[in-house]
Amino acid sequence: MLIIGERLSVISKVVREAMEKRDAEPIKRIAIEQWKAGAHMIEANIGPAEDIGDEIMEWMVRTIQEAVPLPVSLDTTNPLAMEAGLKVHNNEFGKPLINSTSFDPERFIFLELAAKYNAPVIALTVGKGGLPRDAEERVEIALKLLEKAQEYGISLEDIYLDPLVLQIATSQSQAMEVVKAVRLFRELNDPPMKTIVGLSNLSNGCPKHLRPILNKHFLTLLMYEGLSAAIVNPEEVRETIKTVNVLTGKTLYAHSYLEI
């Protein structure tokens, strides 16, 4: 499973301040920590970043790739910032990931960028009309998105369908709808469609000590359904991923399996 390190996010105070001051040290340190904990890709979440988003994204991508030999997942709703990031991204370490498009016409620009830069893209299964009610509605939107993506000439293998994880504290029944959606998404194509979640949104608003517990157990359910990628805190889910891989036979068991 593709592990994308989530910690470089504008939501974090340390990261936000580093971004404002262009202070590379904390950015690099957090990138390296995630790389060492098993991340295959580092997310750069700069938020909407309306004014100088392009400058910030450019700086983030460069700073991250100076510290770690990994591709970057570019998370912004600002198309200029997205394109700036794609332009400077060092593809020697792998392709960047566009986070994200959805079935909202304002977000189709990201499909255009995915085609232009030959980059995989996350497709959130939400439309303009609000959050999806259940797994079936997510599938409906996914189908429309796939059709749209093909209009832009994007191959299905470059699309990661994201069922949108919601908060357990406010939308408890959505957890199993997301699990079901992962299963149904996979069935939309052969080979199965790729799927992705932003895991920690599940425990947003929950007491701090509960968050890792909720996240890890939810990831277990999602992995069982064949989830292909997750935006996570790699350190937090390291043991879960290794253990589920052993339980499902993807990795051969050895007493020291957690140490490698």
Partner 1 sequence: MKFSIIKESYTGSVPEITFGKNRKVSFGGEKSLPFLFFEGEHPHKPLISFEVQDSPPQDYPKELAKVYSSVWDDPVRWAKLCESFGAEAIALRLMSIHPDTTDAKAEDVADKLKKFLNEIDLPLIILGCNHTEKDAEVLPIVSDVARGFNCIIGKAQEGNYKTIAASAMAGGHSLIAMSELDVNLAKQLNILITQMGFPANKLIIDPMCSALGYGFEYTYSVMERIRIAGLIQGDPMLSSPMVADVGFYVWKTKETQAEDENSQWGSLHERGIIWEAVTACSFLLSGAELLIMRHPEAVNLVKYFIEDLISTKEK
**Three-class secondary structure of residue 25 per DSSP:** helix
Lookup result for tokens 């700073």: 63
Q: Which stretch binds partner 1 (CB under 8 A): 38-46, 54-62, 87-95, 248-256?
A: 248-256
Tell me how far, at minimum, the Cβ of 83 lies from partner 1, in Å: 33
Tell me how far, at minimum, the Cβ of 213 lies from partner 1, in Å: 28
Biggest CA–CA distance in the chain, Å, is: 53
12 CB burial (10 A radius; 0-12, 13-18, 19+) = middle
Tell me how far, at minimum, the Cβ of 254 lies from partner 1, in Å: 4
Structure tokens at 130: 């609000």
Which x/- pattern over 199-238 shows residues binding partner 1 (rule: CB under 8 A)?
A: ----------------------------------------
Nearest residue (CB) to partner 1, 213 versus 258 = 258
256 binds partner 1 (CB under 8 A): yes
Q: Which stretch binds partner 1 (CB under 8 A): 19-27, 116-124, 216-224, 246-254?
A: 246-254
Nearest residue (CB) to partner 1, 129 versus 191 = 191
Burial pattern 165-185, b for ≥16 Cβ within 10 A else e, equals: bbebeeeeebbebbbbbbbbb
**Three-class secondary structure of residue 121 per DSSP:** strand
252 binds partner 1 (CB under 8 A): yes
Angle, vertex CA 5, rays to CA 164 and CA 74, nearest 5: 70
What Cα–Cα distance (Å) separates residue 65 from each residue in 4, 79, 196? 14, 21, 23
Lookup result for tokens 């991204």: 89
Nearest residue (CB) to partner 1, 13 versus 252 = 252
Nearest residue (CB) to partner 1, 170 versus 256 = 256
Residues touching partner 1, count (CB under 8 A):
9
248 binds partner 1 (CB under 8 A): no
List contacts with partner 1 (CB under 8 A).
Answer: 250-256, 259-260
